[in-house]
Amino acid sequence: MEQNYSQRLMIDLAVAFIVVPSFFVGLRIWARFLKGKSLAVDDYLCMGALVIGITCSALQLYAAIDGQLGQHQTVGVDGQPILDDPRFLVYEDTKFAVNILSVVGLGMVKASILLFYKSIFTVRPFRIAVWIMMGIVVAWTITYFFANLFTCFPITSLIEQFYGNTCINAVPMWLSVVGSDLVVDVGILLMPVPMVLRLQLPWKDRLAVLGMFMLGATVCAISITRLVTLVQIANEFIYHYNDETYYTSPVFFWTNIEMAMAVVSACLPTLRPIWLHLKNKPQQVTAKSNTYASFGSSRNNKSDGYTEVTSYAMGRMSKSRGVRVRCKSSSEL
């Protein structure tokens, strides 16, 4: 596998991973205020994931500046790596911290997306599915948090045999983290598809709504790339054992890329109010209920079981029955 890493590349990527997701979380908060609504739990989870993502990127900066990340490792006259080099110890400590924190951050993003789904779709079976998936996400986060924390016992970031610590073979565990992360992401990505396809809207509008949710496919693509890269590194590491700080650089930046893009993808579906605000197109919805937009089969005591609405969804007027929209404007969609 051909590489072309450098200290400058590691620094530039880390800065980008701080700036880009911060910008989109700022837009998400603005969108909330444009709707006249306070921040919800899913917003706070996304903000928490941003804080963790910024921390991981700051650790990448630290590793690049003081830990030889993206640079060739110092070796002795015999060509063997100097494992007690203070710069290598910085690299080990930051890698250990990123592995632990990234699991928590990715878990928070997943939980944020699931709560966003729950706020939109009111159908009971779907909400049950959301809570089941939430349980899987919580279990995944807790399991791999402690698996990374206790890679060695007593707890230490120094996993090489040189240090004489009792450690597991970390590579299979790291592969299982990334592989299971991908499986959970795909599951979350596909969850709203049946609900959207059942909406009584023109196909063009349904595809537009579906496309909004499918933005998360970007994160899945990054997860696949991260998994493939990690497998390549694991298979070829024996040939590069004396240059760990250079050869394993992707372990850092692909983790941080996934963290940053997961936060961005979680924010994108919430930004429609900003688009409406900038386009200055007032949206009208008439309904007997006026709280906020949701799709489902909730009952209305003054009707025959469903609230019939006329709405301008995705810019086109459509009349639906059995789809409740509880909103003051279609910006919730």
The DSSP annotation for 216-255 comes to GHHHHHHHHHHHHHHHHHHHHGGGSTT-HHHHTHHHHHHH
| Structural domains for the chain | 7-276 (1.20.1070.10), 283-333 (no CATH)
Please write the tens of the pLDDT for every residue from 280-302.
755 443 333 333 344 544 434 33
Q: Which of 130, 97, 136 is nearest to 116 (CA)?
A: 130
Please write the tens of the pLDDT for every residue from 216-270.
788 999 999 999 999 988 888 878 888 889 998 998 899 999 999 999 999 988 8
pLDDT higher at 318 or 80: 80
Q: Which of 121, 111, 129 is nearest to 45 (CA)?
A: 111
Q: Is the pLDDT of residue 210 over 70?
A: yes
pLDDT at residue 275, rounded to an integer = 84
Q: 157 and 213 in contact (C-beta within 8 Å)?
A: no
Q: Alpha-carbon distance 276 to 313, whole Å?
A: 12
Please write the tens of the pLDDT for every residue from 47-83.
999 999 999 999 999 999 999 999 999 888 888 888 8
pLDDT at residue 214, rounded to an integer = 78
Give the whole-number percent of the chain exceeding pLDDT 90. 52
Give the whole-number percent of the chain exceeding pLDDT 70. 83
Q: Is the pLDDT of residue 319 over 70?
A: no
Structure tokens belonging to residue 208: 């537009």
Compute the mean pLDDT over every residue in the chain, rounded to the nearest whole number. Answer: 82
Specify which of 96-100, 122-126, 149-153 reaches the highest per-range mean pLDDT.
Answer: 96-100
H/E element, 152: strand 152-153
Burial of 240 (0-12, 13-18, 19+ CB in 10 A): middle
H/E element, 269: none
Q: Is the pLDDT of residue 333 over 60?
A: no
Q: 31 and 270 in contact (C-beta within 8 Å)?
A: yes
pLDDT at residue 33, rounded to an integer = 92
pTM of the prediction?
0.81
